[in-house]
Structure 1
């Protein structure tokens, strides 16, 4: 009789289903021996089927474990994403509040551009307090009540480069508004051949938001539509 290789005892190994494992003897005159060989082969096949079932059970168990871990990971990922989204909203709200407070702190400030370096002779508060009323054609003796003034905190430019901006803080908000209003009405303010420009002192974030509005402003002006900023701190 022919012998077949014994099946693997490990359920973790691939089951060999090569038909050559199961060799059946051809017909012979010894029927009992043939029956014995057939039964032996059937037992081998049955053992192999048991191994396959056990292997499938192990695979199914592992898949179930993986699915459980994936489900748990998905739950934690969803919770983390929701937390991140909530924190992002909090950060945005805090940033907006901080920006609002920064602009409120600058509420009485004005930025003045194009005065040459050194004209203030070390005392920008006195220089601007004396020159602004006449420059803006205001009544003699107009007191802007400047609390303090200084050049922007940038390195001193080399000769021929653009001068640093004056940052001016007024004691009273109405005087700051008066200066901007008069400067806008004059259109062009000239001092010793320099075109002096006046701007409200705004945070970078607010400047960026207003810059997005520039195309809309152009359309409104082209159509002679009047508009204004809301509250000074918002678009």
Structure 2
């Protein structure tokens, strides 16, 4: 017990005395205090943190400024693009009007070249294997309309069937197009045909029209709902050249010469405002088809023929020919 009493207390054992017996001496405290950061250390640390933040903020400010400049540039380019698009649309409209004007001129020239032409519909075709004399048939028909002897001579420049395959027996016969040498005679025949409600020749109903360009026929077909509505309302109309639909009502002339005139024409005459097909000749986007390339197909590789006995030509793998021994 005496020896145990002479030893210093053991602070690590669980049975050690009170904590006051394990206190740290002054040298250790000075060592710990000397290891703590000083005021200058803290100032240096804060200076580095502040410099880092300033650098980061400067970089961020530069990026924001760059984005702002880019946005301003995009806004200016957008305004320029919008102005250019408006100019292009206006120029396209001008081009469309110019193209329509040129088409009307060409159409007028085509119709002027057909002034002496008549189109006859309903004349039966000769059976297969038999020749057909169109000129003789038209001479008999026109003389009948004019109440003249059937053999009275009529000067034709040409007369022929429409250029397309011959109609089948159960189909309508091809139209006959003829050109008379004298314009007054052609006009007399056309006016006589308009006066008669029905023309019967060889037990067939015959119709006689002025021969017109295909573009004119398509444009008139597009306005068929309007002409039908005018007929139902007993409103007289007439066609003009270049292509135009004219109605003179109460001293005012209403005209359709371009697709843009249709709506105003319908409203002025109290017609149903039905859309009509644009016949300017310009293809629309839905009708415009780009050429499609044929799908590429890999050509099967030819295998070399096996060598045969005898003096025959064979194909080697490289494509050279040689004779087998």
Q: Aligning the two structures, in what range does the TM-score lie when normalised by the shorter sequence?
A: 0.7 to 0.9
- Which structure 1 segments of 5+ residues have no match? 1-27
Q: Distance in 2 between matches of 1:66 and 1:232?
A: 49
Q: 1:83 aligns with which of 70, 91, 94?
A: 91
Alpha-carbon distance change, 47 to 212 in structure 1, aligned in 2, over 3 angstroms: closer
Judge conservation of contact 2:104–2:242 (CA < 8 Å) in 1.
Answer: no
* Segment of structure 1 superposing worse, 143-152 or 66-75: 66-75
Q: Which residue pairs with 1:139 in the alignment?
A: 148
Residue 228 of structure 1, CA deviation: 3.4
What is the match of residue 45 of structure 2? 37
Instruction: Give the C-alpha shift of residue 83 in structure 1.
Output: 3.1
Q: Cα offset for 1:152?
A: 0.3
| Structural mapping, 1:43-82, within 5 Å | 43-82=51-90
Partner SS, residue 209 of structure 2? strand
Measure, in 2, the Cα distance between the counterparts of 1:84 and 1:174. Answer: 44
Query: Greater shift after overlay, 169-178 or 193-202?
Result: 169-178
Pick closer, same or farther for the CA change 1:223–1:62 going to 2, 3 Å: closer
Say if 2:186 is the partner of 1:173: no
Q: Which residue of 2 aligns with 1:129?
A: 139
Which of 158, 161, 164 is residue 171 of structure 2 equivalent to?
Answer: 161
More helix by share: 1
Q: How many Å separate the matches in 1 of 2:69 and 2:106?
A: 55
Query: Residues 125 and 192 from structure 1, CA distance in 2 versus in 1: closer, same or farther, beyond 3 angstroms?
Result: closer
* CA deviation string 1:186-215 (max 9, x = no partner): 211112221111111112322233334444
The one-character-per-residue Cα deviations of 1:12-69 (angstroms, maximum 9, x if unpaired) are xxxxxxxxxxxxxxxx773333233222222222222212122223323433444454
Consecutive unaligned residues in structure 2, runs of 5 or more: 1-35, 246-325
Give distance in 2, aligned partners of 1:104 and 1:183. Answer: 21
Say which is worse superposed, 51-60 or 72-81, in terms of deviation: 72-81
Distance 2:241 2:97 in 1: 24
Single out whichever of 159-168 and 141-150 deviates more from structure 2. Answer: 141-150
1-structure distance, mates of 2:205, 2:139: 18
What does residue 150 of structure 1 align with? 160
Q: Match of 1:207?
A: 217
Q: In structure 2, the residue corresponding to 1:229 is in which secondary structure? A: strand
Distance 1:70 1:233, change over 3 A: closer
**TM-score normalised by the chain length of structure 1:** 0.73
Higher mean C-alpha deviation, range 148-157 or range 173-182: 173-182
Q: Using structure 2 for the length normalisation, give the TM-score.
A: 0.55
Deviation at residue 144 of structure 1 after TM alignment: 4.3
